[in-house]
Amino acid sequence: MVKNREVAEMFARIADMLSIRGDQVHRVLAYRRAAESIEALGRDINQVYAEGKLTDIPGIGQTLAAKIEEMLTTGKLSFYERLAEEVPPSLVELLRVEGLGPKRVRQIYEVLGVTTLAELTAVAREGKLRQLPGMGAKSEAKILAAIEALARHGDDRTPLGVAWPIAQEILAVLAKVPGVTKTAVAGSLRRMKETIGDIDLLVAATDPEPVMERFCTLDNVESVAARGSTKSRVILLNGLGVDLRVLPAARWGTLLSYFTGSKAHNVRLRELALKRGLSLNEHAFTPVDGSPEILCDTEEKVYQTLGLPYIPPTLREDWGEIEAAMAGNLPQLVELTDIVADLHMHSTWSDGKATILEMAQAAKAEGLQYIVITDHSASLGIANGLSVQRLREQAAEVRAVDEAMGSDFRVLHGTEMEIRADGSLDYPDEVLAELDFVIASLHTGLSQPREQVTQRLLAAMRNPHVDMIAHPTGRLLPDRAGADLDMDLVLETAVSTGTILEINANPRRLDLRDIHVRRAVELGIPLAINTDAHHPDHFGLRHYGLATAQRGWATAVQIVNTWPLEKFLAWLEKKHVQ
């Protein structure tokens, strides 16, 4: 039987192959949109077909419905087979290389006969790419660097932003099963790592059987890999594995602690338990002298039994949290309620989906006190970047919205200014001086050699008008590794210039990474947790950035958008006069 993910993967592959062939954009987008809709479909597509409702799926018309029917009934797609004779499917892999678009891939295929990433690597190393029209030694070196970056980054793990909402949807269903008293995510997902392997879910219930039955019969379950009385494993329609464990509420604390991990953190806890004459597992503490077991219905009791204060899940990596807990030095981590502003967002003036007023109203409804409108600058043409004239025209609208929002909410005017490939900035200093807040960021030339791309970023940081660097590496999970920056040098420069570094909350970015947040915290670098919102709904992404900040041990003091407006403006004024 053909599965949802197989249909989605087929349509996504066709979209890429059509783009390489040079088909019209709307045709490419139709297949891509269809792939996304099927991937997000919470039901077995075979059932949808059986009900005659394929065209009810967003983006699926009669033509695509007929292709889906052919795949479901024959296991093949004749259109794809004909297309594959013209465009080798392996060329799609080349599109993952930063800097290679469909036209360039087609050129490399037609001129050099390259069809795989391995062949591309070989011809690049042999100096053959530079012989192509529009290419040269520098372009060839960039492609080689991008291939190496892809090798460093690539893995089969699932991005946090994909796994989290799926887990929450499943838990919402299981929470309604009679007898269920508690539900939680566990594993690396609860620790909010940027990517996860499988989803781990926990449930406390008086009777596990109804929970297991509901879990194994969820609409988005493709197959049941294992089913037991207290634990089961399913494979979802999108291929993601999900493990569920059910125990009585009296054992909830040890269950949750044990399966949250990390493995290294748990080893340390078990060592502490043994020193107290106890053995620790997911069920309970068991005294080694044969005394009755000690049950913990909360995680707080687990840590209390070990003589420790509660350690938040985002810290449980054995990165020094045990020692800090013993010494009473655990950080007071920044919380969502601490955040009062968002300093990075886009409106319809560039590539956003809402007006400045709509963004301001949505931010205020989220409980924020001030925002900065930071649309893209001129050279990012793909995002409808603003010329100097349009930027100045926008200023008037920002001021009007600021006044319309009332005295308890402020709207400031800024920009997300492109750092060009040659290291120059999009706007001259006299224009930057007119703005309330200036962001600089990398979107292009990310595959440049480390020294070159790092110097581009440092030059922007040294400009006295640049207040913040957004998503420093420019990465996009899971496909784009981002710039190979010398992060030690970037952090050192942030210290000397007082430049804010952003923790971008979009789950496709999560940039700065947690390890760099930790170092920035140690160095006292100002940080900001921003959504980079392009739509009012994106303000709801803040919790991803918050978790990254917490994993880096950040406190509210160092996060500038937890500050009241007066403090933030005073800090900017002081920075600009230095």
Neighbours of 451 (CB within 10 A): 11
CA dist 501 and 467 (Å) reads 9
CB-based contact 340:567 (threshold 8 Å): no
* pLDDT value at residue 82: 96
State what percent of residues in the chain have pLDDT above 70. 98
Which residues neighbour 570 within 8 Å (Cβ) at sequence distance 6 or greater? none
Looking at the DSSP assignment, which residues form a beta bridge with residue 441? Answer: 418
Higher-pLDDT residue of 538, 488:
538
Sheet holding 370-373, edge to edge: 341-342, 370-373, 410-418, 437-441, 468-469, 500-504, 527-530
CA dist 415 and 417 (Å) reads 6
> For strand 221-227 and strand 500-504, is the pairing parallel, antiparallel, or unpaired?
unpaired
CA dist 487 and 520 (Å) reads 10
Average pLDDT on 292-304 reads: 97
* pLDDT value at residue 3: 81
Closest CA to 416 of 355, 468, 485, 479: 468
Amino acid at 204: A
Q: Which residue has the tokens 């197989």?
A: 6
CA dist 197 and 180 (Å) reads 26
Neighbours of 86 (CB within 10 A): 9
Buried/exposed code over 110-130 (b: 16+ C-beta within 10 A; e: otherwise): eebebbebebbbebbeeebbb
pLDDT in tens, 504-561: 999 999 999 998 999 999 999 999 999 999 999 999 999 999 999 999 999 999 999 9
Q: What is the pTM of this model?
A: 0.78
* pLDDT value at residue 544: 98
Phi first, then psi: give them for residue 288, nearest 5 degrees. -70, -15
What the chain holds in terms of domains, given with CATH numbers, is 4-153 (1.10.150.110), 158-247 (3.30.460.10), 261-326 (3.30.210.10), 336-577 (3.20.20.140)
CB-based contact 249:208 (threshold 8 Å): no
Residue 240 is encoded by which pair of tokens?
């993601």
Q: Is 463 helix (H, G, I), strand (E, B) or coil?
A: coil
CA dist 351 and 72 (Å) reads 38
Looking at the DSSP assignment, which residues form a beta bridge with residue 376? Answer: 416
Higher-pLDDT residue of 520, 149:
520
Burial of 447 by CB count in 10 Å (0-12 exposed, 13-18 middle, 19+ buried)?
A: buried
Average pLDDT on 123-130 reads: 93
DSSP string, 508-570: TT--S-HHHHHHHHHHT--EEEE--BSSGGGGGGHHHHHHHHHHTT-BGGGBGGGS-HHHHHH
DSSP string, 473-518: T--BTTTB------HHHHHHHHHHHT-EEEEE-STTT--S-HHHHH
Average pLDDT on 94-119 reads: 91
Residue 129 is encoded by which pair of tokens?
């790419």
pLDDT in tens, 49-83: 999 999 998 889 999 999 999 999 999 999 999 99
Predicted confidence band of residue 149 (pLDDT cuts 50, 70, 90) = low
CB-based contact 452:421 (threshold 8 Å): no
* pLDDT value at residue 26: 84
Burial of 403 by CB count in 10 Å (0-12 exposed, 13-18 middle, 19+ buried)?
A: exposed
Q: Is 375 helix (H, G, I), strand (E, B) or coil?
A: coil
pLDDT in tens, 260-289: 999 889 989 999 999 999 999 999 999 999
pLDDT in tens, 402-446: 999 999 999 999 999 999 999 999 999 999 999 999 999 999 899
Predicted confidence band of residue 503 (pLDDT cuts 50, 70, 90) = very high
Which residues neighbour 90 within 8 Å (Cβ) at sequence distance 6 or greater? 115, 116
> For strand 195-196 and strand 158-159, is the pairing parallel, antiparallel, or unpaired?
antiparallel
